[in-house]
Structure 1
Amino acid sequence: QLGTLPIVSIVLAVSFSLYGAVKKRLTIHPFSSIAFEAWLVTPVALWYLTAIDTTSWTFIENLTPTGLLLIGAGLTTSIPLILFSYGARLLPLNILGFLQYLSPTMGFFLAIFYFGESFGTAQLIAFGCIWVALILFTLSNQMTTRIKIKK
């Protein structure tokens, strides 16, 4: 429907897959991995805050409601990431990959049913293909597990 290759979609799919795989393989403590991630994105975040508005740093002096929300956003974001790090170490990679489809699907349903976003034939085909593939993957994984158990 776009008429071009959906580069952003491909980059997101690959980056989420790699993020889950790396989290699964890391042997460091989840708090350490989140701290390292925060350290990596801090320069970009500081540049962005400065680029938006040179007075955006005044919240530090006054602790305005917006400044408190900014601080709270960091804490609110870190909690799910830490929990994901714990879960990634405990779950098999195929289950972890499957679970990463749930959040975008919930956002998708929220966009359609709550915010009234358009949902045409192209979206239905894409959404259907994704979930049919996930169902086939899950069924094949279950069949493989049963065959291994019988041997």
Structure 2
Amino acid sequence: MEKAKYYLSESEEFASYSDNDLITAYHNLSRGAYYSVVGTLDSASMLLESAKSLVGERDNLLLLRIENSLGKVYISQGKPKRGLESLFQALKLLETFPDRETEIKVRINIMWATLSSNSIKIASGLGDNPSGTLPQSLNGFFLMYIIIWQ
């Protein structure tokens, strides 16, 4: 974690000397990624959204990284639908910049968002179940979970 903090301070110093929006966007991406790892998700999403608005459509590779990071942060915040929006944007950008490793990461995050969304739907339906048994949809959910994590 010390190396990450050092990198962030160097990045911040470099960004402070520049008036280039792309450098600021890279710095915000770095800070957003750091904050997402340490669990400050609101700050992470704010920084990543700021980076996204600074980039616009000028650097699609940077935008791809930002969208993927935003997707992960939104999923962690319990907002899987919003996370999926960002991840599908990243998937579109991969058509322009094909990278197998990044594509695998994005697709795994899409599965994670889908599972998160389904678990929220299932959990909200459990309270309405008078018999006290688990709904049938849970069987498919658990089967998918077991297959993915084996």
Q: TM-score, normalised on structure 1?
A: 0.30
Of structures 1 and 2, the one scoring higher in RCO (CA 8 A, sep 6+) is 1
Q: TM-score, normalised on structure 2?
A: 0.30
Compare CA radii of gyration and give the structure with the larger one. 1
